[in-house]
Structure 1
Amino acid sequence: MEYIDHAMDLGAALSTPGLNIENRPIPDPHIDSNKLEMLYGQLADILLQLPKLSFPRIGSLTQVDDFTWEVTRRPLSINMNELIRLGTLPRSKLPATSFENASSYYKALADLHLEHLVHQRNDAVDSVNDCRGKYVPRQLFRNLARDGRLVSSLKKLWCDDLRPSNVLVNANLQIVGVVDWEFTYAAPADFSFAPPWWLLLEQPEYWPDGIEAWTEVYESRLQTFLNVLIKREVEAIRQGRLKEDQKLSGPMQQSWESGHFWVTYAARKNFAFDAIFWQKLDCRFFGPSGVPEGNRWKQRVDLLDEEEKYYMEELVNQKFEHMKERVLAWEPNEVYLEKV
């Protein structure tokens, strides 16, 4: 692609002044409200464009002609790429086809959570109970996906890597380009209906004071964003660029208030799964618990059937054999615990 002349990326415009490039992003707590609304408004215009496009299947797109795109291949998300690059997942474990419905795709994402645990070598767990404590939530999430308790039925265009650092602005803070579209595919509409985590620039699992602190700060920024989004929707409808049923503000508000935001986040984020599951999903789906988070798996393990418990113990044995061997190189098509 050609170079896009720009002054900075939008992440820099929203972050605290004076941060070094090696620092994790921190949103400017003193940002002028007019500036924030102006930047959010431009982001809202971009977000409103994507889900206007609907598809019959979930997966990556192929251009048929100048005006036609079709879903012909498996979806490729940024998380799948990172599982291969950082999580030692064999490429053969990625989904091989497109998906007819959101339920089957959520099931595939839940399978990837387990495959990640199975194939990540050596220091993936540090004790027998740590291994069990990682297996239990992944198997429970997989069961929720299998039972269709996570999903909607629509499929919308979705960019998995759309975030402020990939949005370029000029010196007047006007957007001049958006880059890194390679992880764009037709996805469950739930993904588009969840409010963007990047309103705070930093992902909740990396927030210095923890996920609950992130949630509290996020809610104030979310209301600012939703207010701006509503204004943009009204204007787009007035100009004939948007239909009533294409609005995002209502679904985003509902996703956040219902907690479904965390379902979509957990499904897409393998490396954040444990914290999100125990802090945001466990009690929602399986009821309140007075057991501390670190030991709650001992209570929830009774929700697994005997076969699932058997494979949990098989996985424990496998992990500790790996820790003894400390193998650093292996064939990429190695397969373990095929029934997991």
Structure 2
Amino acid sequence: MTTLPLLRGNKVSLDDALADDDNILHRLDYPQKQEEFWSHLISLKADIEASVAFHLRARHCQVADEADWMFGSYNVCIPICINPPSENHVLVRIPLPYKVGEENKPGNVDEKLRCEAATYIWMRENCPSVPIPSLHGFAFPDGKTFVEPSCVSLFSRFCWQIGRVVRSWLGFPTSCPYVGLQRRGALSTGYMIIGYIKSGRMLSDTWAVHLQDMARRKTLFKDLASIILSLNRTQLPRIGSLTINNDGIISLTNRPLTLRLQTFENEGIPAIPDGSTYESVEPYLLDLLQCHDNRIYHQPNAIHDVKDGQEQLAALTMMRGLLHQFISRQYRHGPFVMTLTDLHPSNIFVDDGWHITSLIDLEWACAFPVELQTPPYWLTGRPIDDIEHGEPLETFEKVVMEFIETLNEQEKRSQGSNVSHAQIMRKCWDRGSFWYFQALHSPKGLLRVFNEHIQSRFCEEHCTQSIFDRTVSPYWCIDAERLIQKKVEEEEGYKDGLRKRFGSYSGSSVAS
């Protein structure tokens, strides 16, 4: 059977590609784009070494062998040895333009870097107890570079410090604790230089093995609870993401940048516009639903057949209609708290006892409504759309209650807020808000989560009656039936494209 390569050594057959809900035709381009970007980075080795040496005032820096480069979903981390043969290493972290939508929406790489750098700095200043890698410096694609004060002359450092003091006296926001300068020959990719994590390993390495170990799980939950409470001590004025401008000023003025937004844009699907922040909950949630609508309009294989189209449009229509059932007027205008929206086992480093030693990948952190700060969906190792009624749901609920109780215990010890986040989390679970919010943030999982956990709360009979979908789907838009038919025809064209793609590779060296 002919298969074609995807990223990370994965392969896909034609049958699997045709059945997949993702735009596989788009993803088949990734390996070639990764190879091209890899070659581009190799050509920049000397520039990368020079940039790190500049930031760390090192005599010499050496890029690690390409085999040691770490390609993640949205970034590549390149290990750099400082003054070899020493054991001192840092990582140069560079966004992958072909994964964050740079081609379709120029500026996404810059946006991602600015949000991540701002989050690192904000967390270091406001949540010093949360373990994150050290940030040695960063630069944006326009060449604006930020270095630690020790990297510049005494005179430059003095002028920079005076400027910060004067801004503070005048009541203006002070600049970040890094000195900004325009550096010639700066990497056009943009980058961050972060410390190497020397203790612990990814939680995902041992998650499946020790998931049922109550002692380890309790330790992990306590540390996660402490991190959440530390983040929540600082209430923020609106929903959005932190960003940093070229003057080094950090502000909450960026749209709430979750990985879903740039993933949508990477596939040509419009998402939340730049600069959109929200001072109340409903407009943000409605804009998220608009992103799901845009997926229907713009993804070529969004609808597989008429029945699938009716189900999806009915679910999206009801998600809008039921919004008020799952949010509280009490928290409509806050509190808004910093939330790590991409906190999963591969972004958490732990020791052998599952104490958290470091968190990584902070670029998708957002100021979120407190009700959207839910227990992690991965607590039992299942995807969000695979937690079905019966044993899977019963097991998940048991672990969720365990997590919330741990948060409650830690909250009582800290006594740092008038708002009980554990109580809010429990109420959201009881009224089903957990599932509503998870559906909103899961383009592939929304329909399954809606059918399994939301629709059944109101009328279980409708979950299996196609007449419900036929009746409700026309209210998604005017002439919905015609739209569904158009999308079914569009998918046929998409499938023809897949067949041609596989046919052109049949028997070639990349097929198997």
Give the TM bin, normalised by the shorter chain. Answer: 0.7 to 0.9
Offset from partner CA, 1:105-156 (integer Å, 9 cap, x none) = 000011111111222213x3332222122111112213444xx444341122
Offset from partner CA, 1:172-200 (integer Å, 9 cap, x none) = 543221001100111222111x3222322
Q: Which residue of 1 aligns with 2:55?
A: none
Q: 1:61 to 1:268 in 2, by over 3 A?
A: same
Q: Which residue of 1 aligns with 2:254?
A: 73
1:69 offset after TM fit, Å?
4.6
Q: Which residue of 2 aligns with 1:260?
A: 433
Q: Is the 8 A contact 1:159 1:185 kept in 2?
A: yes
1:103 offset after TM fit, Å?
0.5
> Does 2:417 correspond to 1:243?
yes
Q: Which residue of 1 aligns with 2:197?
A: 4
Q: 1:225 to 1:93 in 2, by over 3 A?
A: closer
Secondary structure of the 1:16 match is helix
Secondary structure of the 1:79 match is helix
| Equivalent residue for 1:224, pick from 366, 389, 402 | 402
Bigger shift: 59-68 or 100-109?
Answer: 59-68
Q: Is the 8 A contact 1:6 1:171 kept in 2?
A: no
Distance 1:291 1:226 in 2: 32
| TM score, norm. by length of structure 1 | 0.77
Q: 1:53 to 1:271 in 2, by over 3 A?
A: farther
Q: Which residue of 1 aligns with 2:231?
A: 50
Offset from partner CA, 1:50-93 (integer Å, 9 cap, x none) = 222222221111358999853211111122233344xx343x44
Q: Which residue of 1 aligns with 2:316?
A: 138
Bigger shift: 195-204 or 261-270?
Answer: 195-204
Distance 1:203 1:225 in 2: 18
- Rg (Cα) greater in structure: 2
Q: Which amino acid aligns with 1:235?
A: R
> Does 2:311 correspond to 1:311?
no
Distance 1:212 1:68 in 2: 51
Offset from partner CA, 1:198-235 (integer Å, 9 cap, x none) = 3223323145xx35543211122123223322221222
Q: Is the 8 A contact 1:204 1:211 kept in 2?
A: no
Q: 1:136 to 1:185 in 2, by over 3 A?
A: same
> Does 2:477 correspond to 1:302?
no
Q: Which runs of 5+ in 1 are unaligned?
A: 18-27, 330-340
Q: Is the 8 A contact 2:349 2:358 kept in 1?
A: yes
Q: Which residue of 1 aligns with 2:292?
A: 113
Q: Mapping of 1:266-281 within 5 angstroms?
A: 266-281=439-454
Q: 1:136 to 1:159 in 2, by over 3 A?
A: same
> Does 2:303 correspond to 1:125?
yes
Q: Which runs of 5+ in 2 are unaligned?
A: 1-193, 499-512
**Structure with the higher fraction of residues in strand conformation:** 2
Secondary structure of the 2:395 match is helix
Q: Is the 8 A contact 1:132 1:316 kept in 2?
A: yes
Q: Which amino acid aligns with 1:268?
A: H
Q: Is the 8 A contact 1:89 1:116 kept in 2?
A: no
Distance 2:355 2:248 in 1: 28
Distance 1:80 1:125 in 2: 20
1:46 offset after TM fit, Å?
0.9
Structure 1 consecutive aligned stretches of length 4 or more whose deviation exceeds 4 Å: 63-69
Q: 1:41 to 1:189 in 2, by over 3 A?
A: same
Distance 2:303 2:472 in 1: 22
Identity of aligned residues (%): 22
Offset from partner CA, 1:301-325 (integer Å, 9 cap, x none) = 5356x66463312321321331343
Q: Which residue of 1 aligns with 2:175?
A: none
Distance 2:255 2:199 in 1: 34
| Equivalent residue for 1:189, pick from 367, 370, 386 | 370
Q: Is the 8 A contact 2:201 2:351 kept in 1?
A: yes
Q: 1:111 to 1:290 in 2, by over 3 A?
A: same
Bigger shift: 194-203 or 131-140?
Answer: 194-203
Distance 2:204 2:492 in 1: 44
Q: Which amino acid aligns with 2:439?
A: A
Q: Which residue of 1 aligns with 2:209?
A: 16
Instruction: Give the structure, 1 or 2, with the largest relative contact order (CA under 8 Å, sep 6 or more).
Output: 1
> Does 2:382 correspond to 1:202?
yes
Q: Which residue of 1 aligns with 2:343?
A: 162
Q: Which residue of 2 aligns with 1:290?
A: 461
Q: Which residue of 2 aligns with 1:337?
A: none
Distance 2:247 2:407 in 1: 31
